[in-house]
Structure 1
Amino acid sequence: MLRVVVLGAAAGGGVPQWNCGCPVCQAARTEHPELQSTQASVAISADGDHWFLINASPDLRAQLIATPKLHPRAGKLRDSPIAGVILTNGEIDAVAGLLSMREGWPFTIYGHERVLAILKSNSIFNVLNEKNVRREPIQLERNFEPSLPDGSPSGIEILPFAVAGKGAWYLEGQPHPAGKDGEGDTLGLRIRDKATGKHFFFLAACADVTDDLRSRITGAPMVLFDGTVWRDDEMVRSGLGTKTGQSMGHIAMSGETGAIAALEGLGIDRKIFLHINNSNPALLRDSEERLILERAGWQIPKDGTEIVL
């Protein structure tokens, strides 16, 4: 069985964001603590014993403490069931948590060469000694099977593919460490249990639902999809920022070209939004936006939500 644990569902900054007084963050601090959410990352396993993270959020340490399945096994002085981390982009939201895994335990980082080049160019990631923490390049449109610590197959087959998006914000105006522009900065993943054939798609960052993407995910048992903003200009309208969703590389939930409309009628069994910004009014359970979202068959998960396929 393919097990999926949503470690966090929020976008950068989490909910509440440390310096934000927007309605969602205020509610999360006061009368609605159930709104609190850490930054987006999930854990997957085919055997229930060995786990792989998809992205390593800045909140990873707290997420691991809150998830007993990811604790060291009893009687072990040093131990972790985490065998690897699969990176879908090089944003701070996806890679900063790697620094919380620097204590000498072996695991493998899987990422496109454009993302691995970002890690290599930043000396702070040298704390992850490559003798212990291997960096394994993955290629677009080529299946790979992450390995268990002893080198045996994990039973999970992953297909990375390019989706519309942007490179890491902090590289804007600078030469990319990987050189010329190319695909690979923003990935979607199809994750399949080789034993059962069950699969799901992970797309925590996506700027557009293309015909190719629509055909890939049609009929999927589950899709975890980018839910950063409700409206493309919501951060500008609310006074929280100057960037639109599109300028940040994210599609809006609503609107004629938004995710809800674009993924309607594709026969997806379970549709879940991930990477949801604190500005997004759909986080408020009594909001009109939340009602629209749920009527369309979408869910917003709590941290720690476990799904078995």
Structure 2
Amino acid sequence: MLRIIVLGAAAGGGVPQWNCGCAVCSAARNEQPELRSTQASVAVSADGEHWFLINASPDIRQQITDTPSLHPKGGKLRHSPIAGVILTNGEVDAVAGLLSLREGWPFEIHAHERVLSILKSNSIFNVLNPELVKRIPIEAGAAFEPKLPDGSPSGLEIEAFEAPGKAAWYLEGIADEQPGDTLGLVVRSKADGDSFVFLAACSMVTPDVAARLRNAPLVFFDGTLWRDDEMIAQGLSRKTGQRMGHIAMEAAIPALSDSGIGRKVFLHINNSNPALLPGSPEREAAEAAGWLIPSDGMEIKQ
């Protein structure tokens, strides 16, 4: 049986964002601290003892501190139950947390060659000792079982698939979009077949995406914005969701309404998104359609 913990539910910058005074960020700082959220990441384990992180948020140190299952074992001078990190893209909010995992503990990084090339090109990631931290390429469509630090099987099977998205924003104007910029994951327990789909960045529900999600028992899906022009309307940005590589919730909800998904969870939710506010029309619409807006530390049951 898989154990799945939402370490962070927010999009880049978290909630509240450091320099933002929007309605959600203001409420999170003041009268509604329960709205506070770190940047998106999920931890998954097949045995409840060894954990793999999906993406390494810049907030990873705080997320580990707030998650007892990820604490070092008592009596150990150095230890971590984190056995590996699976990267689904090269955005800052997916890879920056790797730098906080540099304290000499073995684990594996699994990522598409496209993302591994980004890490290789930036020497700051060399703080991760290559003798301890192996970088292993993911091939879309080829299932693999990540290993534990001692080489034993993890009990997980992971299959990546290409998803519509875009290159990391810091590569805009430098590198063209390429295969591997955005991946979805199907994660399964080899013991009992429990599974879920992780797709926290997706610009549209294509026929291939719809097929990947159909009848899945659990899906984590891109919840960045409620409407495509949301950040423009609020004066926060000149970019639409599509321009940033994200489908709006109000488009995703009807597109996936007949998909047969068991549990539907939005993730990577931007501070501008009014669905974060309990009682808002947007929140009520999402929940009425069967979607969950998670909070940090929530363990998701299938």
For the aligned pair, the TM-score class normalised by the smaller chain equals over 0.9
Task: Please state if 1:295 is matched with 2:291.
Answer: no
What's 2:161 paired with?
161
Query: Aligned pair 1:214/2:206, yes or no?
Result: no
Distance 2:229 2:66 in 1: 34
Separation (CA, whole Å) in 1 of partners of 2:175 and 2:8: 31
Structure 1 residue 217 displacement after superposition: 1.1
Q: What are the residue-to-residue correspondences of 1:27-38 with 2, within 5 Å?
A: 27-38=27-38
Cα shift readout 1:5-49 (whole Å, capped 9, x = no counterpart): 000000001000010000000001111111000000000000000
1:182 Cα shift? 3.0
User: 2:104·2:132 contact (CA, 8 Å) conserved in 1?
Assistant: yes
Q: Does the aligned pair in 1 maintain the 2:167–2:178 contact within 8 Å?
A: no
- What is the CA distance between 1:194 and its match in structure 2? 0.8
Q: Which whole-Å deviations, capped at 9, do the CAs of 1:266-301 have from their partners, x for residues lacking one?
A: 111100000000000000001100010000000011
Q: Does 1:279 align with 2:275?
A: no
Report the aligned-residue RMSD.
0.8
Is structure 2 residue 35 aligned with structure 1 residue 72? no
Task: Name the residue aligned to 1:260.
Answer: 253
Q: Quote the Cα distance in structure 2 between the aligned partners of 1:79 and 1:173.
A: 41
Partner amino acid, structure 1, of 2:291: W
The Cα shift of 1:175 comes to 3.2
Q: Tell me the distance in 2 between the aligned counterparts of 1:21 and 1:195.
A: 47
State the distance in 1 between where 2:82 and 2:205 align: 32
1:132-183 CA-partner distances (Å, limit 9, x unpaired): 110000101000110011111111000000000001000111136xxxx531
Give the aligned residue type for 1:276.
I
1:114 offset after TM fit, Å?
A: 0.1
> Cα deviation per residue 1:86-118 (whole Å; 9 max; x = unaligned)?
000000010000000011111100000000000
Tell me how far apart the structure 2 counterparts of residues 246 and 230 of structure 1 sit (CA, whole Å): 12
1:246 to 242, 248, 264: 242
Query: Residue 196 of structure 1 aligns with which residue?
Result: 192
SS in 2 for 1:306: coil
**% identical aligned pairs:** 69
Q: Does 1:187 align with 2:183?
A: yes
Distance 2:244 2:233 in 1: 16
**In structure 1, what is the Cα distance between the partners aligned to 2:173 and 2:274?**
32
State the match for 2:93 in structure 1: 93
Long gaps (5+) in structure 1: none
The offset of 1:215, in angstroms, is 1.3
Matched, 1:83 2:83: yes
Deviation at 1:213, TM superposition (A): 1.1
Runs of 4+ in 1 over 2 A off after TM superposition: none
Structure 2 unmatched ranges of 5 or more = none
Structure 1 length-normalised TM: 0.97
Q: Structure 2-normalised TM-score?
A: 0.99
Question: Is this contact kept in 1: 2:39–2:268, CA < 8 A?
Answer: yes
**Aligned with 1:58: secondary structure?**
coil
Opposite residue 204 of structure 1, the aligned amino acid is: A
Q: What is the aligned partner in structure 2 of residue 48 from structure 1? A: 48
CA distance in 1, matches of 2:40, 2:95: 11
Deviation at 1:308, TM superposition (A): 3.8
Q: Does 2:301 align with 1:304?
A: no
Aligned mates of 1:286, 1:198 — CA distance in 2: 33
2:145 and 2:243 map into 1 onto residues whose CA distance is 33
In the other structure, the counterpart of 2:62 is 62
Which letter maps to 2:293?
Answer: I
Q: Which residue of 1 aligns with 2:112?
A: 112
Tell me the equivalent position of 1:226.
222
Paired amino acid for 2:266: F
Which amino acid letter does the alignment assign opposite residue 79 of structure 1? H
SS at match of 1:5: strand
Moved more, 209-218 or 199-208: 209-218
Paired amino acid for 2:199: L
